[in-house]
Protein backbone atom coordinates (compact mmCIF):
# COMPACT_ATOMS: atom_id res chain seq x y z
CA UNK A 1 0.00 0.00 0.00
CA UNK A 2 1.51 3.37 -0.93
CA UNK A 3 2.14 5.91 1.77
CA UNK A 4 0.01 9.03 1.85
CA UNK A 5 2.94 11.08 0.61
CA UNK A 6 3.56 8.89 -2.45
CA UNK A 7 -0.12 8.83 -3.28
CA UNK A 8 -0.25 12.61 -3.14
CA UNK A 9 2.89 12.92 -5.24
CA UNK A 10 1.49 10.62 -7.95
CA UNK A 11 -1.76 12.52 -8.01
CA UNK A 12 0.05 15.82 -8.44
CA UNK A 13 2.10 14.35 -11.28
CA UNK A 14 -1.02 13.17 -13.07
CA UNK A 15 -2.62 16.60 -12.72
CA UNK A 16 0.46 18.26 -14.15
CA UNK A 17 0.47 15.91 -17.14
CA UNK A 18 -3.23 16.48 -17.81
CA UNK A 19 -2.79 20.22 -17.45
CA UNK A 20 0.01 20.27 -19.97
CA UNK A 21 -2.12 18.57 -22.59
CA UNK A 22 -5.20 20.69 -22.05
CA UNK A 23 -5.60 23.37 -24.74
CA UNK A 24 -6.09 26.96 -23.71
CA UNK A 25 -9.55 28.52 -23.69
CA UNK A 26 -9.07 30.30 -27.00
CA UNK A 27 -7.99 27.08 -28.71
CA UNK A 28 -11.07 25.36 -27.35
CA UNK A 29 -13.35 28.00 -28.85
CA UNK A 30 -11.56 27.75 -32.17
CA UNK A 31 -11.86 23.98 -32.11
CA UNK A 32 -15.57 24.22 -31.46
CA UNK A 33 -15.99 26.60 -34.38
CA UNK A 34 -14.00 24.30 -36.64
CA UNK A 35 -16.38 21.43 -35.85
CA UNK A 36 -18.97 22.78 -38.25
CA UNK A 37 -20.05 19.54 -39.91
CA UNK A 38 -22.54 17.50 -37.91
CA UNK A 39 -24.08 14.16 -38.72
CA UNK A 40 -27.84 14.56 -38.71
CA UNK A 41 -28.33 10.99 -37.51
CA UNK A 42 -25.93 10.58 -34.58
CA UNK A 43 -24.96 14.27 -34.11
CA UNK A 44 -21.27 13.48 -34.24
CA UNK A 45 -19.30 16.58 -35.19
CA UNK A 46 -16.48 16.78 -37.71
CA UNK A 47 -13.90 19.40 -38.58
CA UNK A 48 -15.06 21.64 -41.42
CA UNK A 49 -11.97 20.45 -43.28
CA UNK A 50 -13.10 16.81 -43.16
CA UNK A 51 -13.18 15.44 -46.69
CA UNK A 52 -16.35 14.05 -48.19
CA UNK A 53 -14.60 10.69 -48.45
CA UNK A 54 -14.24 10.54 -44.66
CA UNK A 55 -17.85 11.57 -44.16
CA UNK A 56 -18.95 8.93 -46.63
CA UNK A 57 -16.87 6.47 -44.64
CA UNK A 58 -18.72 7.51 -41.47
CA UNK A 59 -22.07 6.89 -43.18
CA UNK A 60 -20.99 3.45 -44.36
CA UNK A 61 -19.59 2.42 -40.96
CA UNK A 62 -22.21 3.90 -38.67
CA UNK A 63 -25.38 4.19 -40.70
CA UNK A 64 -25.55 1.50 -43.33
CA UNK A 65 -29.33 2.07 -43.53
CA UNK A 66 -28.91 5.76 -44.36
CA UNK A 67 -27.51 7.54 -47.38
CA UNK A 68 -24.91 10.30 -47.33
CA UNK A 69 -27.62 12.92 -47.95
CA UNK A 70 -29.60 11.69 -44.95
CA UNK A 71 -26.57 12.18 -42.68
CA UNK A 72 -25.04 15.37 -44.07
CA UNK A 73 -26.33 18.42 -45.93
ZN1 LIG B 1 -23.50 9.66 -37.87
Render pLDDT for 8-59 as a digit per residue (tens, 0 to 9).
Answer: 666 656 655 555 555 566 777 777 668 899 999 999 999 999 999 999 999 9
* Residue 22 pLDDT: 55
Rounded-to-integer distance, Cα 20 and Cα 60, Å: 36
Rounded-to-integer distance, Cα 33 and Cα 37, Å: 10
Rounded-to-integer distance, Cα 43 and Cα 41, Å: 6
- What is the reported pTM? 0.56
Output the CA 19–ligand 1 centroid distance in Å. 31
Protein residues within 5 Å, CB atom, of ion ligand 1: 39, 41-42, 44, 62
- What kind and span of H or E run contains 47? none
* Residue 16 pLDDT: 53
Higher local confidence (pLDDT), 4 or 15: 4
Calculate Rg over the CA atoms of the chain: 20
Amino acid sequence: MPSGYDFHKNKMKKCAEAGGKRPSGSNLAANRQALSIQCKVCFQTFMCTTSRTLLQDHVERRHDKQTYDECFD
